Structure 1
Amino acid sequence: MARMLAFIVMLIPALMAGAGIKFMRDTLFSKLISPFPWLWLQFIIGIIFLVVGLGFFAGFLYHRDRKNGKIPPKVQ
């Protein structure tokens, strides 16, 4: 059960980062998605989604590796 919960917790930021990439790609091809009134806003939201999603994933991996002692002392 704990592994399934961890998988779901990691799946949400991954989907968020994927949506951010999609928003930015659609902006580059001038395809406006319905909740956004302007292309520049769609691109900014895409960047935010990508940074937050990847940041959560990277922070989770860093926390897990630090807990397991895989981070060198120089970095800590």
Structure 2
Amino acid sequence: MARLAAFIVLLIPGLLAAGGIKFMRDSLYGIVFSPFIQSWIQFIVGLIMFTLGLGFFAGFLLHRDRKKGRVQERFAKKEKP
């Protein structure tokens, strides 16, 4: 059950990042979708979607690896005195 929940948690940001890549690609080819007025606005929205999706995915993996102790010393959480 925990693996299914983790899969769903990672699926949503993955789809967000994939949608961002699609918006950026389509704006480079001049295909503009209806909620966007111009191609550059679509590109910026796609870039934001891609950055948020990838950032969440990377943060999730870093958090998981910190819990299991699989990170290098520079990425390990520092203890507060």
TM tier relative to shorter chain? over 0.9
1:74 and 1:15 mapped to 2: Cα distance?
30
Question: Which digits, 9 at most, give the CA deviation of each residue in 1:38-66, with x for residues without a partner?
Answer: 11110000000000000000000000001
2:39 and 2:72 mapped to 1: Cα distance?
44
Output the amino acid matched with 1:19: G
Q: TM-score, normalised by structure 2?
A: 0.88
Percent identity between the two aligned chains: 58
Output the amino acid matched with 2:69: G
Give SS of 1:45's match.
Answer: helix
1:72 aligns with 2:72: yes
Output the amino acid matched with 1:73: E
Aligned length: 76
Q: Provide runs of 4+ in structure 1 moved above 6 Å.
A: none
1:40 aligns with 2:40: yes
1:34 and 1:71 mapped to 2: Cα distance?
44
1:6 aligns with 6
1:34 Cα deviation (Å)? Answer: 1.2
Output the amino acid matched with 2:65: D
2:31 aligns with 31
2:15 and 2:39 mapped to 1: Cα distance?
21
Structure 1 vs Structure 2 CA RMSD: 0.9
